Amino acid sequence: MTAFVQGPVPLVNATRFRQAHESDWEELDRIVTAIERSGVRGVPEQSLLVLPVLYRSALSSLSVARETSLDKSLVAYLEQLCTRAYFQIYGVPTSAWRQLGHFFARSWPKAVQSLWKETLVAFVLTAAGAIVAYLLVRNNPSWYYVLMPDGSSQGRDPTASVQFLKSTIYGGASTDKQGALAFFATFLFTHNAQIAIFSFALGFAFCLPTVGLIVYNGLMLGAMIEVFAAKGLAYGFVGWLMIHGTTELYAIMIAGAAGFRIGLALAFPGRQSRADAAVAAGRSAAIAMGGTVVMLAVAGLLEGIGRQTVTSDGARYTIGIAMLLGWFAYFYWPRRNNGAVA
């Protein structure tokens, strides 16, 4: 007689297996849930001592369930339970404050460090745009009205008088002019924040929109500088801008660099799929972009306080340069790699 070989037959009865071990699983689930909700301090010491034993027992049950082809729902339940228990036993629970400290101490600066090439490209694009706009407006002032949004300059255009432009830099103007100065400063901050956000968000389109935004921001900067330079006020205007601009413009360059990283990963994924390459690039890029929100907030404080209280060119340049050097030191100071993920 020919013997027919049937498919794999479970070596363990599923019902009896569950009855024999279910109480241990439930106890493990209860302890892990308590730790997740209240932390280790909210769990009795006896429960903590028995936790590793229950975890090893659950791992053994999971191994048996997989090998004997028990029902999929039981296998999925045990996998989830063992995963949760693993993180409570071997993971390093940290408080929100400690995670925030790690972000500022390591994650954010390491992420920015990894984007140094892209940040350099963003700087070159900004500088190139500023130089081109400066030369265009210098040779033909009508270019200013092409490059600057309507109404954004609040009278700071090639037709403005020296007295008016000077009053917007150093104060001492009428209430209306002070209001115009406040509006212009608010416009600059809002515009730069939008440029930073869109430079990152549109990076997925193979970097092209990001390049355009970075260059356009440089064009606006160069056009505005030339308006003041034509009246002999370039030094004063750059000083007014530097007190917060070194932080603000640097934040835009980092945001653009983060957008470049994602766009390049999509355009040149290598051996990975485009989705996998984008996810890998997005980890460090998102961390770097998250930190730019802090930089923009700092720039807002510097602009709000500095515009009101600091009117000396020397003090403005000192603050601006000191902030820039401070950011460089913070981001690029060598840090030992202790396994932390940037």
Task: Give per-residue burial for 236-262: e unless 16+ CB within 10 Å, then b.
Answer: bbbbbbbbbbbbbbbbbbbbbbbbbbb
Is 185 a residue whose pLDDT tops 70?
no
Is 329 a residue whose pLDDT tops 90?
yes
Q: Is the dihedral of CA 40, 45, 50, 54 positive or negative?
A: negative
Query: What proportion of the chain, given as a percentage, has pLDDT over 90?
Result: 51
Mean pLDDT of the region 298-307: 82
pLDDT at residue 5 in the model: 44
Mean pLDDT of the region 230-236: 95
- With CA atoms as reference, report the closest residue to 204 among 254, 279, 270: 279
pLDDT at residue 175 in the model: 47
Q: What is the pLDDT of residues 75-114, one digit of tens each?
A: 889 999 999 998 888 875 566 788 888 899 999 999 999 9
pLDDT at residue 336 in the model: 67
Mean pLDDT of the region 322-331: 97
Residue 289 and residue 292: Cα distance in Å, rounded?
A: 5
Mean confidence (pLDDT) of the chain: 85
Residue 54 and residue 46: Cα distance in Å, rounded?
A: 12
Q: What is the pTM of this model?
A: 0.70
**Dmax (CA) of the chain:** 112
Backbone phi, psi, residue 8, to 5°: -60, 130
Is 258 a residue whose pLDDT tops 70?
yes
- Helices 14-38/72-90 angle, 10° precision: 30
Q: What is the pLDDT of residues 116-132, one digit of tens each?
A: 999 999 999 999 999 99
For the chain, the domains span 14-90, 101-332
pLDDT at residue 3 in the model: 46
- With CA atoms as reference, report the closest residue to 219 among 153, 143, 142, 129: 129
pLDDT at residue 234 in the model: 95
pLDDT at residue 340 in the model: 38
Residue 268 and residue 266: Cα distance in Å, rounded?
A: 6
pLDDT at residue 277 in the model: 85
Burial of 85 (0-12, 13-18, 19+ CB in 10 A): buried
